[in-house]
Chain A
Amino acid sequence: MNRLFFGAALAAVLGATPAWATELTVITAGDQNMVDYINNYLAPIFEKQNPGDTVKAVGTGPGDAGSQKIIERLEAQKQANKDKWDVDVAVVHEKAAGDLVKDDLLKKYRADIKTGSMVTRSNADMALGTDVKGYVMPMFNSQTAIAYNPALVPNPPKTYADLAKWVEKNPKQFGYNGIKGGMSGVAFVVGWVYANAGDAKTLEQGPYKPDEKADWSKALGELKTFNQNVTFTPGNAGTLDMLARGEIAMGPVWVDMFYSWQASGQLPPDLKLILPSPGMPGQPMHYVIPAKAEHPKLAEKFIALATSPDVQANGIVKKFNWYPGIDADHVKPKLDEATWNKLFTDISPKELADYGKPFPIKPYFDGILEAYEKQVAN
């Protein structure tokens, strides 16, 4: 009797949901802040504009690991020959965007939405050597840099070469998280290879020449020596933690994390950033629509909103301290001078243009990481 009653009640509740209401499933790689951004900031705006529709955001975890899960999920549904995939919008890292396009898992949609023409950066066309033009809309651009404590380091090293000398004189005062604890350490290692292994342009743009690897051994050998005098930190947040506790005086960090931690009081306000020459890598995160998304039209609407100048200004720049995904000229008029300048307090737009690098193309990127494991770590 009871079971019957509950069954009837359940049916009534399910039946009561209006037929026109659509639930848009957004799946995102990255830290919890990505899920929070979509659930707490984007979803309410979208739901207000599209009454009845709801947004459900699911996180798959930080770093390339999170993106890898998204690839595997879509791949599995493709293998199973499903007509409708259970993801409408995915947010992925650069490396994954290339793989998704190569595996035919995405829909080409950028020309169909209004904000598509506002994208100007080349990393929205090429993702680590793969042509992704039309398939991705950058959600934001982020950048790594070296954070330092001016009280301990009044004249921070401005180049990788100076940094190496500084570390020799100040052992254990520089800290980074290796390559297995998050992307800020990976970015530092890539910057080191750019600085010390010659042909950075080929690494960034290709074409891929398998024999290039031989040239890294000297740079990585020097990195092994350099590592003798650094402190290893547990992860991206671990580096910031150690900076905050004064255990290290310098370390590579993500610019957005740095500003967010400073804004919430987790980092002392006097810490500063520097982008050393010849540069450190940064990366965008991209909005993509799976090839067989269940609600492609609504997904486009959602991404158009997320990449509109208003949302890019108030959400991406103001709330999360990321650099905008669409061209900055569209975003700047929507913000007051102070907010805009805060983004460029320590790193000027010119420095960002000169020293903000992309990550290497995928075969080189994997090659560098593997060479590091082989030569520096083992």
Chain B
Amino acid sequence: MRRYLPGLLLVSPALAIIVFLFLVPLAGAVTGAFQDADGGFSFGNFIKTYQLYSNDILFTIVIVALSALLTAALSVAIAGYLTLGTSPAAVAILRWLYRWPLFIPFIVVGQILRTFLAKNGLMNNIFVATGLITPLHTVGFLDWRGIVIAFVWKQTPFVTLLLAGAMASIDRGTVEAARNLGASRLRILLEIVLPQAAPTLMVALTLSIVTMMSVLSVPLMIASQSPTVITVDMAFRINAYGDYGVANALGLISLVLTGAVAWIYLRQTMRENAR
């Protein structure tokens, strides 16, 4: 026992912070989800959640899944070019450019895209001015597409950053060998580089999904009408009705969703480690 004491003492501040600032409120939210207005146990909050927000829950899953897929595709393309690109100037410029959105907060992304993507917004005005489309054919993107664009725009640099690092650290010999045998760059990326960097890609995507599930500002700025994402409903539940029960139920559902993603990821890594 005495042997462990200094260690336990060292850990205790961190542990206390986790228990009091994270675990206790989390337990409160979970129990709150199963309580009715009088404090008794009930599934009422979940029934109401289903009646009012079943569409929004589905919508959230679709939006986040689609955003994650697009983010993955774009970051594989960018990280792949950074690793395998042959023009040093192009690689240097790309390396400098792609990180910018990392430093822009979500709320600002929402704010920028709100005027950029509007029907008569900056993007369409540019298209019209350059003669690509006529004013009659402009379409606004301030709906689910706007949310996806914002998420992908913001998360791609993050995933790319991790992925490019992983790709840079793989054994260059495998790449050179494939190149000597005449493989095209695309084939090297997809068959040699990507499989070796795949675990990192999965980690980055898992983190991205959790981040996207928790963003309130972007959907609020771009598309808060129906259908919308879970975070907006949680905020509305509390702000309009002061109803923490259903908000907790919604929170628990989004926790289960992110938990499922984390579980799939963990199972994957454990299987790989076992091999």
| Stretch of B12-20, B181-189, B228-236, B259-267 at the chain-chain interface | B228-236
| Stretch of A32-40, A145-153, A240-248 at the chain-chain interface | A240-248
For chain A, the count of residues having a C-beta within 8 Å of the partner chain is: 30
Q: Among A64, A233, A242, A370, which residue has its beta carbon within 8 angstroms of that of B239?
A: A64
Say if the beta carbon of A257 comes within 8 Å of chain B: no
Chain A residues closer than 8 Å to B221, beta-carbon distance: 234-235
Q: Among A63, A65, A232, A378, which residue has its beta carbon within 8 angstroms of that of B225?
A: A232
Chain B residues closer than 8 Å to A231, beta-carbon distance: 140
Q: Are B224 and A235 in contact (CB under 8 A)?
A: yes
Q: Are A246 and B236 in contact (CB under 8 A)?
A: no
CA distance A366 to B55 in the complex (A): 20
B residues 115-173 in Cβ contact with A at 8 Å? 115, 118-121, 140, 142-143
* B119, B226, B232: most-surrounded residue (chain A CB, <10 A): B226
Say if the beta carbon of A374 comes within 8 Å of chain B: yes
Say if the beta carbon of B268 comes within 8 Å of chain A: no
Tell whether A378 pairs with B226 under 8 Å between CB atoms, given A64-B240, A180-B232, A247-B140: yes
CA distance A247 to B118 in the complex (A): 8
Say if the beta carbon of A163 comes within 8 Å of chain B: no
Say if the beta carbon of B199 comes within 8 Å of chain A: no
Q: Is the interface of B mostly helix, strand, loop or mixed?
A: helix
Chain A residues closer than 8 Å to B42, beta-carbon distance: none
Chain B residues closer than 8 Å to A354, beta-carbon distance: none
Q: Are A245 and B120 in contact (CB under 8 A)?
A: yes
Chain B residues closer than 8 Å to A378, beta-carbon distance: 51-56, 226
CA distance A63 to B121 in the complex (A): 27
Chain B residues closer than 8 Å to A369, beta-carbon distance: 240-241
Chain B residues closer than 8 Å to A370, beta-carbon distance: 52, 241
Say if the beta carbon of A181 comes within 8 Å of chain B: yes
Chain B residues closer than 8 Å to A63, beta-carbon distance: 239
**Minimal beta-carbon separation of B195 from chain A (angstroms):** 42
A residues 110-139 in Cβ contact with B at 8 Å? none
A residues 237-292 in Cβ contact with B at 8 Å? 238, 241-242, 245-247
Chain B residues closer than 8 Å to A242, beta-carbon distance: 118-119
CA distance A369 to B246 in the complex (A): 15
Q: Are A245 and B225 in contact (CB under 8 A)?
A: no
Q: Are A373 and B118 in contact (CB under 8 A)?
A: no
Chain B residues closer than 8 Å to A68, beta-carbon distance: 238-239, 242
B residues 206-255 in Cβ contact with A at 8 Å? 220-228, 232-233, 235-236, 238-242
Smallest CB gap from A232: residue in B: B225
Q: Are A180 and B224 in contact (CB under 8 A)?
A: yes
Chain B residues closer than 8 Å to A374, beta-carbon distance: 51-52
Say if the beta carbon of A309 comes within 8 Å of chain B: no
Chain B residues closer than 8 Å to A180, beta-carbon distance: 224-226, 228, 232-233, 236
Q: Are A241 and B118 in contact (CB under 8 A)?
A: yes
Chain A residues closer than 8 Å to B220, beta-carbon distance: 181, 234-235
Q: Among B140, B142, B223, B226, which residue has its beta carbon within 8 angstroms of that of A377?
A: B226
**Minimal beta-carbon separation of B99 from chain A (angstroms):** 28
Chain A residues closer than 8 Å to B53, beta-carbon distance: 373, 378
Say if the beta carbon of A312 comes within 8 Å of chain B: no
Tell whether A234 pairs with B52 under 8 Å between CB atoms, given A64-B239, A241-B118: no
Q: Are B240 and A247 in contact (CB under 8 A)?
A: no
Q: Are A246 and B120 in contact (CB under 8 A)?
A: yes
Tell whether A181 pairs with B239 under 8 Å between CB atoms, given A241-B118, A374-B51, A378-B51: no
Chain B residues closer than 8 Å to A377, beta-carbon distance: 52, 55-56, 225-227
Can you add 11 more A-B contacts, CB < 8 Å, to A377-B52, A378-B53? Answer: A68-B238, A68-B239, A68-B242, A180-B228, A232-B223, A234-B114, A234-B223, A241-B118, A245-B119, A369-B240, A378-B51
5 contacts between A and B (CB under 8 A): A180-B226, A233-B142, A373-B53, A377-B225, A378-B56
| Nearest 5 CB-CB pairings of A with B | A178-B225, A65-B239, A377-B226, A232-B225, A245-B120
